[in-house]
Structure formats: structure tokens, C-alpha cells
Amino acid sequence: MAINPIERIEAIGVVPVIAIDNPADAVALADALTAGGLPIAEITFRTKAAAEVLAILHDQRPEFLAGAGTVLDLESVQACKDNGASFALSPGFDAEIVAAAKAIGLPFAPGIMTPTDLTAATRAGLRLCKFFPAGVAGGPKALEGIAAPFNHLGVRFIPTGGVTLETMGDWLKHRFVAAVGGTWIAKPEDISGGKFAEITAKAKAAVERVKAIRAGAA
């Protein structure tokens, strides 16, 4: 039986957040991340290439867990369906987008920043949310306070925005954090510059850091 995308995200512990401009770089990027132990990426709809990148990865690297990010409208939800996205996230909560994702069976994590946002998400039946922008929203202490009244519901989070290799432990030490999202692993300029060996090295470092944190060694 195939592993649920959300379960895979939690098992891996870190999701590279990708803004990619050239679809021709898609396969090399996926291979670089996979070589570093991260067969996963959130391909954000911040670029026009996102939908095509998702389609390429779905067709050419089906074992790679390619999801969509910055899903801000119903057109993007449809693009996720049409191009084989395995999961999707957004920076905020929109009930219409949540309903559309649910209707097509797309695992979806909306962004939250306040208890009001989280109340709306849980009322919609969601138990995984993005905490964004994690750094400026107050960091781990803020999320701890926001999450506390909802812990009995089993809500978990993917903090994204300002998370680094050095601060991963501050987030992942909390049981309510399923994974962190990171832009540092594969920056747009590294992808366009063909620095795939560096991307592999950053992916490997992130994976090793997750293992150390979860083992209690960091």
C-alpha cells in the first residue's frame, strides 16, 4: 500500500520550498534532492513554471513526492489536479480553496498565524497546517502558545518562513511540529546556476540534522 503523502512528509521532517523558473531544471533538481536524501519538494506557484515542473516530475520522477505551494486560488487547485501534485500548501486559510482541495482528494495544509486562523482550519476538518511566516510570526514560542488549546485535536504544523538549518531543532523538538519547510536547501539562483552538487550537500545536511534532532543528539 502506498504511503500517505502527509505520512511521508512527517517521516522525512523537512520540505524543500522551491521557486523554479525553468522547467528544464526539474529533473536535475529532483535528482539532486533525492541524492541528498530528500525525495520531496514543495514547488511554489510563485513562478510560471510551477505547473509544468509538477507535470514533469509526475511523469519522469513518479517516486519523487512533488507537492505544490503558494496555492492562492481555485485555478491553482485545478493545476495541482491536472499536473499530478501529491500535496499542496498555502500561506493562508481560504475556506473555498480548502473545500476545492478536499473535493479532489488533494492533501492540503493551509497557512495559519493566529488562533482564529487555526480555529477555521480545524472546523474545516484539517489537522495539518502550515505556520507562516514562522520567523516573524513569533517563532517556536508563539506557535507553542497558539497550538496549546488545540493539542487535544491532534493538530500538527509545518513551520515555514525563516527556518534555517541552525534553527530546525527549535521547531522539531516540539511534538506538534510534523516537519519544517525550508527555502535554503535549493535557492532559485542555485537551481538556475546548475549548482546541483551544492543542493545535494544542503539536502544531506538537513536530513542528518533531522535525524540528530529526533535522536535527541541535537
Any idea which residues carry the catalytic annotation?
42, 130
CB 130 within 8 A of CB 158: yes
Burial 88-106 (b: 16+ CB within 10 A, else e): bbbbebbeebbebbeeeeb
58 Cβ contact list (under 8 Å, min separation 6): 66, 83, 84, 85
HSE at residue 43, side-chain half, CA atoms within 13 A, is 37
Query: Which of 114, 113, 121, 119 is CA-nearest to residue 97?
Result: 121
Question: Helix H segments across the chain?
Answer: 5-12, 26-35, 50-60, 74-82, 95-103, 115-123, 139-147, 168-172, 188-192, 196-214
Q: What is the CA radius of gyration of the chain?
A: 16
User: Rounded to the nearest 10 degrees, how much is the dihedral formed by the CA atoms of 109, 111, 116, 122?
Assistant: 0
Phi-psi region of 43 (alpha: psi -120 to 50; beta: other; left: phi over 0): beta
